[in-house]
Chains A and B, each alone.
Chain A
Amino acid sequence: MLINFFKSIFTWWNTQTVGTFLFTLFSGKLVGVDQFGNRYHQNKDDSKRWVIYNGDVDSSRIPPEWHLWIHKTSLSTPDKIKFENHDWMKEHHPNYTGSKLAYSPSKSKKEKKDSYKKWQPES
């Protein structure tokens, strides 16, 4: 707990900074929480919208519904809009570039060592 408190003072990449915390405390209004626990705020006259991440500060963690809201593409929060849920839609995930989960085509990933033909005693 204490380490998280210090982290919030000295780093910007662990949830909110002290400035954001104070700004949210005094002029922020919570408008919603997404499925990942990120909390979305706006100020009184809706001139500012912001998010406090649940975890790493990474803008690609915002799911598409909230992406619309936070970029002011839609005026109302996602819970007031009816989204169609198709079976081909995948669960949102952040951009994995640079992480272990990053996508790489199967060709280059494949260990070349398997590319030889074994001798078979029966043949």
Chain B
Amino acid sequence: MPKVKVDGVEIEVENGTTVLQACEIAGKEIPRFCYHERLSIAGNCRMCLVEMERSPKPVASCAMPAAEGQVIFTNTEMVKKAREGVMEFLLINHPLDCPICDQGGECDLQDQSVNYGGRSSRYELNKRSVKEKYMGPLIKTQMNRCIHCTRCIRFAEEIAGVPDLGAINRGENMEITTFLEKTVDSELSANVIDLCPVGALTSKPYAFEARPWELTKTETIDVMDAVGSNIRVDTKGWDVKRILPRINEDINEEWISDKTRYACDGLSSNRIDQPYIKKEGKLIPCSWEEAFLKISEEFKKTANIGGLVGDLVDLETIFSLKNLLSSVSGSESVDFRQKDFYIDPSHPSNYLFNTPIAEIDDADLFLLVGANPRLEATMINSRIRKNFVSKKTEVFSIGNPGDQTYKINLLGDNLSILKDIEAETNSFADKIKKSKRPIFIIGESVLNSKQGKFVLETSKNILKKYNALSGLNTLHRNASSVGALMLGAYNTNQDVLKNEILYLIGADEVEIDNKNKFIIYQGSHGSKNTKIADVVLPGAAYTEKDSLYVNLEGRVQAAYKASFPPGDAKEDWKILRALSDVLKKPLKFNTIEQLRSKIFESFSIFPEINQLPKVKTENLSIASVDTLDSKVQFTSIDYYQTNEIARSSKTMMECKTAREQLAKTGTDD
């Protein structure tokens, strides 16, 4: 534990700390461009120069390890002069185009030049000009502005795991490029936009849309996958202009996936903004009263009513729907499963991602069973990669999920391997014996009625044997799945689709035969199931309501209203509450606070907001199953088109096309 003195204050820092981190701990702000906490140290911008005793020259604090007895000064004349010199060199080739630059207002160079910039440039020659590069449909380049901090290169290599970005030439002629003018082949690519300290890499869909100071910022939760990344939604008026990551060390650190970031333009297209009612085979716009009266007429005819919730539905809505349908028909046939899906809700650990996401970093062995974390839960994949890079952890897989940005050791694609591991006839059994914290990740592809039970029970048996049951993880794809499971929104005895009346809330994946059925569709975006509906009710999207979502760990997170629903659309639970009045079976809550306290009262499994559920894996019941000779069949994932918001988004369509182009070879048509 070296002791260093920063500006006369002596502090003790941990081994391996850099001088820059020591200064931060001492409360001194050090300007920097290339240094980033989560990336390797490059030390090439020289902005973080500090004075050190017995050093003839100023030292780059980001690359200098803190050592015993160092005496550091951060505010001397020498430091100021050195930084001013660095800044002047940086500004030599930086265009003075702040007024037309999208980074203006949130630019590191702009901010630091206020402190260290000279009054005018002494440079009299022409500024360097650099050709624009193509980096795909998300990243807009203005390479004249680049100051060569290499953050983007380090991000692509270290965190995204795609060596697509690099620098060519040296010195003044250095250029950041994708070499082949191709799309960056990563689901995390747009994070380089946040990393870029200047306006060299900016957001293409957000280009010239707004200035940072005009935007209203709302800190909320993402629903594009089940991870529940923390995001900040920036709105200007009604429009959601952009989505940025919010730091949460327990979930997404400070990255988000491209889908999370750019599906937001789907929020302003394909919107259902008024109720519709089907007359003579055509959906005709109508008023809320007409729609509600029609529903109550139909509800009087039969008690055979089923509810199906989609992939983006929040806790409040599922709870309200469940209560409404049980008060009307007496049965609780609300389900969240839009496809063949094996669930064992007898214990929460059977469907939760039991390892907290942050503890993936401590794991020393991974087994993916029919899981493709890169496409199913990108943020979890970046955690696995982080572990793989820092500890060289081995990742094994049953079934080939394709490139995961790290090396995968394929055990085969037959699920009977699991039984071999249990019987210790497979060499993987030795690995798991030696491992202290093994992690099994079971994907939705194998959680079907045929394979699900075998995979789940055998995995439990293996993990139980090595006393590692907390490493049992189910990788859900949809933001609503775990919440629905915890609320008991499933009916394992009966198929909901057999009911005469179907109440769909954003359920747009399932294929429905609408013969002799009355279908109510409530949702924010139009889809194939909206067209076959008899009554359409306009709902709110995830940025337009205060709501709770449960991520795959079982963590309850609150999303906040950043914008409001368009036209006549209303928040989903309010629609159900109003409908319950028309049906003369009023639900027993009037405000969101009452509704939430009802949920927490009725279901003790829900933890406090932002906390993990207190679920113990010890008393998990395990059944023994016969061996199953069956191959892993990955269900196809169209990464950029997984939900209705993404499908409505123009940017996501562009991404999809760009990635398809990338996969083509020269001889393809």
Contacts and interface: CB of A to CB of B under 8 A. Distances in A.
B223 to A, nearest CB: 19
A112 B282 contact: no
Interface of A: 112-113, 115-121, 123
B236 A117 contact: no
Interface stretch (B269-277, B353-361, B395-403): B269-277
Q: What are the 8 closest A-B residue pairs judged by CB atoms, nearest first?
A: A119-B526, A112-B237, A121-B283, A117-B269, A116-B268, A112-B238, A113-B238, A119-B272
Residue of B272, B282, B530, B566 with highest tally of chain A CB at under 10 A: B566
B239 A112 contact: yes
B525 interface: yes
B126 to A, nearest CB: 37
A84 B156 CA distance: 72
Given A113-B237, A121-B536, 5 more contacts: A112-B239, A116-B271, A120-B526, A121-B282, A123-B526
A111 to B, nearest CB: 8
Given A112-B238, A113-B566, A119 B268 contact: no
Residue of A116, A118, A119 with highest tally of chain B CB at under 10 A: A119
A71 B283 CA distance: 68
B interface, how many residues as a size bin? Answer: 20 to 34
A117 B238 contact: no
A75 to B, nearest CB: 50
16 contacts: A112-B236, A112-B237, A112-B239, A113-B237, A116-B268, A116-B269, A116-B271, A117-B268, A117-B270, A118-B567, A119-B271, A119-B273, A119-B525, A119-B526, A120-B526, A121-B282
B530 A115 contact: no
Instruction: Give chain A's interface secondary structure class.
Output: loop
B242 to A, nearest CB: 15
A119 B530 contact: yes
B108 to A, nearest CB: 30
Nearest to A121: B283
A108 to B, nearest CB: 10
B239 A115 contact: yes
Contacts of A116: 238, 267-269, 271, 273, 566
Interface string B571-595: 0000000000000000000000000
B407 interface: no
Given A112-B236, A112-B237, A112-B238, A118 B283 contact: no
Interface in B497-543: 525-526, 530-531, 536
A113 B566 CA distance: 7
A112 B235 CA distance: 11
Contacts of A117: 268-271
Nearest to B531: A121
A16 to B, nearest CB: 46
A5 to B, nearest CB: 49
Contacts of A113: 237-238, 566
A36 to B, nearest CB: 39
A118 to B, nearest CB: 6
Contacts of B272: 118-119
A9 to B, nearest CB: 48
Nearest to B237: A112
Nearest to A113: B238
A66 to B, nearest CB: 43
Interface in B242-287: 267-273, 276, 282-283
Nearest to B530: A119
Contacts of A120: 526
A1 to B, nearest CB: 49
A20 B276 CA distance: 68
A81 B269 CA distance: 61
Contacts of A112: 236-239
A89 to B, nearest CB: 38
A119 B270 contact: yes
B439 to A, nearest CB: 42
A120 B283 CA distance: 9
A94 B96 CA distance: 42
